[in-house]
Chains A and B, each alone.
Chain A
Amino acid sequence: MIDFLLFDKYVYYIWFSYLLTFGIIIILFIRTKSIHKNTMIQLRIKYTREK
Chain B
Amino acid sequence: MWKWIQAFASPQNFYYTAKKIIPWFLYPFIALTLVGLYWALIKSPPDYQQGDSVRIMYVHVPAAWMSLFIYVVMAVAGGIGLIWQIKLANVVAVVSAPIGAAFTFLALVTGAVWGKPMWGTWWVWDARLTSELILLFLYLAYMSLNNAFDNPKTASKASSVLAIVGLVNIPIIYYSVEWWNSLHQGSSIGVTKVSMHIDMFIALLLISFAFKFLYGVLILMRARDELLVREQNSRWVKAVVMEGKNND
Residues of A within 8 A of B (CB): 4, 7-10, 13-14, 16-18, 20-21, 24-25, 27-29, 31-32, 35-36, 39-40, 43-44, 46-47
Query: Counting CB contacts under 8 A, is B197 at the interface?
Result: no
The 7 closest A-B pairs by CB, nearest first: A7-B52, A10-B53, A43-B241, A39-B225, A17-B110, A21-B59, A17-B56
Query: Counting CB contacts under 8 A, is B163 at the interface?
Result: no
A44-B242 contact in complex given A21-B63, A24-B102, A35-B222, C-beta closer than 8 Å? yes
* Contact between chains at A17 and B59 (CB < 8 Å): yes
0/1 per residue, B111-131, Cβ < 8 Å to A? 001101100000000000000
* Contact between chains at B51 and A13 (CB < 8 Å): no
Main SS class of interface, A: helix
Looking at A13, A31, A36, A43, the one whose CB has the most chain B CB atoms below 10 A away is A13
* Contact between chains at B241 and A44 (CB < 8 Å): yes
Q: Complex: how many Å from CA A7 to CA B99? A: 30
A25 CB contacts on chain B under 8 angstroms? 214
Q: Complex: how many Å from CA A29 to CA B53? A: 28
Picked from B98, B99, B102, B114, the residue with its CB within 8 Å of the CB of A13 is B114
Query: Counting CB contacts under 8 A, is B86 at the interface?
Result: no
Q: Which bucket holds chain B's interface residue count? A: 35 or more
Interface set, chain B 55-77, CB cutoff 8 A to A: 55-56, 59-60, 63
* Contact between chains at B232 and A17 (CB < 8 Å): no
Interface set, chain B 36-51, CB cutoff 8 A to A: 37, 41-42, 46, 51
Q: Complex: how many Å from CA A19 to CA B238? A: 41
